[in-house]
């Protein structure tokens, strides 16, 4: 009878051989660690030209033909045999985050070179749960997984109706039988926690109402590419204290930089999350209601929509409340000539940001969007232990 309640894990390649080579730390090089500083440089040379790089790729490619293991019949959902999910940035230490970012830069360089021989996800499938639709999340995950040899399955809002037609714990177990990894973009944060609890494969948080860790990893990669380092920078977010702000706060509890959130009164980020970031003692954290003062000396000015998905009925009200928080040319001038503009998209041009700002030379919103794919590929490689 007990076999009736068992759940399975997908058949995957022998990780013992594929672990032998992860591409890390060559094209994105860190200089000697100075107190409170981290400097990164990105090599413009093609990584495919390096013999050592070729050797590492060959080693991983050869592992794709390794023997497979049978499905597990264990009913233990408390432990995952060392598997790690990607639910919050601060679940990982600084060294791990920087390692993932290094790997993201190297994978990006490889794909940009036109090399398509690195296929670590060959034979693997990913289930993508979308309670909230998204162009960037779907295309970046699906394309990225495919470019590295895998196959992604889109499950839209009407395909599962998780928590309504079928309980989350059952969805997690069933999808674990068929897939090697699960990505979910949901409303309630508890849904991603429940998926991770009951799934026997890694679970990636594609977004919840509480946080958006994949986006912030892509943002961090973009800042490193354009400024040269993340540590010591001043990042100023102007707008609603939403899930993007929460993820920045969680990153600031691990990596030292100056983070400022400028928002209207009553729209501040979650107080416990902000206090947790302050108590970590890693970064300088400021929450203010004065955007003009906030952006002075900023390296990055960051914006997002004022009314997120699920809040559109509040859009008209929020436009009134958020007057004075639009990122326009005058606000960017206060930040200084070297300040970059970032936006996680989609943007409502003429609302939270003007067309002139988003199209300006110092706007890096589209490299930022591209980096979603590369950051997520590196996150999944890390979860697979590759």
What's the chain's length in residues? 386
For the record, the structure tokens of 114 come out as: 């036109």
Q: How far apart are the first and last CA of the chain?
A: 37
Contact 257, 230 (CB under 8 A): yes
Catalytic site includes residue 214: no
Contact 86, 379 (CB under 8 A): yes
Using alpha carbons, select from 104, 80, 335, 328 the residue that is nearest to residue 216.
104
Q: What Rg value do the Cα atoms of the chain yield, rounded?
A: 21
DSSP string, 279-290: HHTSSEEEEES-
Task: Name the 3-class secondary structure at 182.
Answer: strand
Contact 180, 151 (CB under 8 A): no
Strands 40-42 and 28-30: antiparallel
- DSSP-derived secondary structure letter, 164: T
Quick one: 2 exposed, middle or buried, by C-beta within 10 A (0-12, 13-18, 19+)? exposed
Give the separation between CA 148 and CA 61, rounded to whole angstroms. Answer: 11
Contact 282, 254 (CB under 8 A): yes
Sheet strands (E) in 119-270: 125-130, 151-155, 181-185, 203-207, 234-238, 258-262
User: Which entry of 214, 261, 263, 344 is annotated as an active-site residue?
Assistant: 344
Using alpha carbons, select from 197, 230, 201 the residue that is nearest to residue 216.
230
Quick one: 42 exposed, middle or buried, by C-beta within 10 A (0-12, 13-18, 19+)? middle
76: left (phi over 0), alpha (psi -120 to 50) or beta: beta
345: left (phi over 0), alpha (psi -120 to 50) or beta: left
Question: Cα separations (Å) of 360 from 180, 295, 340, 371?
Answer: 41, 17, 9, 19
Active site residues per annotation: 344
């Amino acid at each position: 009878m007990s076999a009736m309640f068992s759940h399975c894990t997908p058949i995957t390649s022998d990780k013992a051989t594929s672990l032998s080579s992860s591409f890390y730390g060559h094209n994105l090089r860190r200089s000697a660690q100075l107190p409170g500083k981290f400097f990164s440089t990105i090599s413009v040379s093609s990584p495919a030209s390096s013999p050592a790089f070729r050797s590492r790729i060959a080693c991983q490619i050869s592992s794709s033909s390794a023997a497979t293991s049978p499905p597990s019949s264990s009913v233990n959902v408390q432990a995952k045999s060392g598997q790690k999910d990607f639910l919050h940035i601060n679940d990982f230490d600084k060294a791990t985050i920087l390692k993932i970012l290094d790997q993201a830069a190297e994978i990006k360089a490889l794909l940009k070179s036109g090399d398509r021989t690195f296929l670590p996800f060959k034979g693997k499938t990913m289930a993508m749960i979308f309670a909230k639709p998204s162009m960037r999340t779907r295309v970046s995950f699906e394309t990225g997984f495919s470019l590295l040899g895998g196959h992604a399955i889109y499950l839209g809002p009407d395909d599962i109706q998780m928590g309504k037609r079928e309980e989350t714990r059952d969805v997690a177990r069933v999808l674990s039988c068929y897939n090697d990894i699960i990505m979910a973009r949901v409303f309630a944060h508890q849904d991603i926690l429940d998926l991770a609890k009951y799934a026997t494969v890694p679970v990636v948080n594609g977004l919840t109402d509480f946080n958006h860790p994949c986006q912030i990893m892509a943002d961090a990669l973009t800042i490193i590419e354009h400024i040269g380092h993340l540590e010591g920078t001043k990042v100023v977010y102007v707008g609603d204290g939403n899930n993007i702000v929460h993820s920045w706060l969680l990153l600031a509890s691990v990596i030292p930089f100056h983070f400022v959130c400028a928002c209207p009164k009553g729209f501040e980020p979650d107080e416990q999350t902000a206090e947790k970031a302050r108590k970590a003692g890693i970064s300088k954290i400021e929450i203010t209601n004065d955007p003009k003062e906030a952006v002075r000396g900023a390296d990055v000015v960051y914006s997002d929509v004022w009314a997120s998905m699920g809040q559109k009925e509040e859009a008209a009200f929020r436009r009134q409340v958020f007057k004075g928080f639009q990122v326009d040319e005058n606000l960017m001038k206060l930040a200084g000539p070297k300040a970059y503009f970032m936006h996680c998209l989609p943007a409502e041009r003429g609302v939270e940001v003007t067309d002139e700002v988003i199209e300006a030379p110092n706007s890096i919103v589209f490299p930022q969007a591209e980096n979603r794919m590369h950051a997520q590929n590196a996150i999944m490689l890390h979860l697979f232990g590759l």
